[in-house]
Amino acid sequence: MKYLLLICFFILQSCHSQEGKFKSKEFKEPIVVKMNENLEVATFAGGCFWCTEAIFLEVKGVSKVVSGYIGGKTKNPTYSEVCSGTSGHAEAIQITFNPKEVAYEDLLEIFFGTHNPTTLNRQGADAGTQYRSEIFYYSLEQKEKAENYIQLITKEKLYNDPIVTQVTSATEFYLAEEYHQDYYSQNSLQGYCQMVIAPKLEKLRKYYKSKLK
């Protein structure tokens, strides 16, 4: 009986289980990324995008965070297709930031500090390739910084297990359905938000206070 209750608890706390129904397919053009000295873009996948979006919206120098899908083969994927694991996409966030206010390395530090980069295709109760840990780079500079940071934290043995985070050239990023955007602020009293996202935000505010708005 205890085992059954434990299984039910984890199912209820998974990102996918909170989705009451899938909406009809919306046509979405892939986002075109434009960067300059005052505006850069970073794309991270670190589990359910509801969590990662809520975290980076609080970071100083970040002007915009959107949830979406990247790294797959299906054109214009839906949430249902991504959750099935057949599209190949990861749930990810695209962060627009001012590099003069927050460094890309700071974003990497927060990314690795607020999810588990050692669990393959899993974050807590969320399991599947769509929940993989992956960094999608838009320049060789971002690639080098991401790889160097992984080498650094591996050398420092910050984790007991090997880091499985992939560093990959960015492909087409599709914006997720509207009801996924700014999810935490609109659903903060929901069970998943209370049990999974709120503790991550508490950790963020405790350990990265100087980097927040």
Q: Which residues are catalytic?
A: 48
Q: At what angle do helices 140-155 and 104-113 cross, to 10 degrees?
A: 50
In this structure, what token pair is assigned to residue 130? 């769509």
Which phi and psi angles does 45 have, rounded to 5°? -120, 120
Q: How far is CA 88 from the centre of its chain?
A: 15
The CA distance from 155 to 127, in Å, is 28
Both structure tokens of 99: 């590099």
Quick one: which H or E segment has residue 9? helix 2-12
Token digits for 203? 């950790």
User: Mutual orientation of helices 49-56 and 104-113 as an angle, nearest 10°?
Assistant: 130
115-132: b (≥16 Cβ within 10 Å) or e: bbbebebbbbbbbbbbbb
Closest CA to 129 of 163, 196, 81: 81
Q: What are phi and psi of 34, to 5 degrees?
A: -125, 130
